[in-house]
Amino acid sequence: MSIKKTLIWVFLMALGFPSLACDICGCGVGSYYIGILPEYNKRFLGLRYQYKSLHTHLGPQGERTPLTADETYQSAELWGGWNFGKKFRVLAFVPYNFNQRKSQEANGTKNGMGDIAVMGYYNLFNHTGTLGEKLLVQSLWVGAGIKVPTGKYEPAERLAVQESPNNFQLGTASTDFTVNAAYDIRYNDLGLNLNANYKINTENQYAYRYGNKFTANALVYYKFRIAHSVTVAPNAGLLYETADKDVENKKYMVDVSGGYSLSAVAGLEVAMKGLSIGANYQNIRSQDLAGGRAYAGNRLMVHMSIPF
């Protein structure tokens, strides 16, 4: 078996096992972290696995109580990108979610299709030149996207749990929109990657609207080239997420919603002919979620893709 086929098989096997993987800043029904895209010329198709955890029903000072629940959100996501000429790019995400909740009161799981998202980008500029004797490459992509309500939303979940974020859902039951920007600058093999995304949510049929959300990340990376056929790019940086409070019936703010988190990110991207793989770990350094009634744990993302 070739190295390429072996790596693909190992990755798929990893997705098949339960692992440790909110519209509240990144869990459950709303995560739009992209990070460094895999290298491709025309198009790519791949899989991403994400793991996130959230502790809810915390006390007024953020302490655990008999009602505290430990939630995990895992997703296996089919994702892909397509370049149309040199100016247009489309990214698509089709997630399948695995949600689990454990508490002294009751345990529960929700597995199923999540909300599908599509993002379109336009290349404002793509410049290659030199600075001194070194290569300088810059690009800026801007665009917009849409998320459609393909994931199941259960209104009874919101009614049953009033003092917990409305995150234990497979989808939002709303059509939402995003505005996106991605900038990359590389001086020879040292680069900086910036991504920003603003998500505009609409009210669903159950008179519930998740708060709008802003996500931004900055990653510094360095490309090591091995035998002209493999590129290894370690990267590190910051990820910031903030969300407005949710709104019910067009006027009632949901106290246990919204907030912010700031994470330190470290990852590794590997590109070879016909295959790209990567992983990153997000260590949350600061957060204030749902008025202090929720606490997010660290996160993991693993991905692979095949350019064609």
User: What pLDDT, in 10s, does the model give residues 143-172?
Assistant: 999 999 999 999 998 876 667 889 999 999
Sheet containing 252-253: order of strands: 208-209, 247-248, 252-253
Mean per-residue pLDDT, 236-244: 96
Question: Do residues 212 and 244 make contact, with C-beta atoms less than 8 angstroms apart?
Answer: yes
- Write out the two tokens for 137: 């490459």
Mean per-residue pLDDT, 201-223: 96
Closest CA to 296 of 2, 53, 37: 53
Q: What mean pLDDT, rounded, does the chain reach?
A: 89
Question: Do residues 96 and 77 make contact, with C-beta atoms less than 8 angstroms apart?
Answer: yes
pLDDT score of 82 more than 90: yes
Q: Which of 21-25, 156-160, 293-297 is predicted with the least confidence, judged by mean pLDDT?
A: 21-25
Single pTM value for the model: 0.88
Q: Looking at residue 73, what is its pLDDT?
A: 95
pLDDT score of 206 more than 50: yes
Q: Which of 19-28, 31-40, 298-307 is predicted with the least confidence, judged by mean pLDDT?
A: 19-28
| Percentage, residues of the chain above pLDDT 70 | 89
- 224-226/252-253 β-pairing: unpaired
pLDDT score of 17 more than 70: no
Q: Looking at residue 12, what is its pLDDT?
A: 42
pLDDT score of 8 more than 60: no
Mean per-residue pLDDT, 286-295: 93
Mean per-residue pLDDT, 92-96: 96
- Kindly report the CA angle at 118 between 216 and 196, in degrees rounded to 5? 10
Q: Looking at residue 129, what is its pLDDT?
A: 92
- Pick the residue with more confidence: 228 or 246? 246
Mean per-residue pLDDT, 187-213: 96
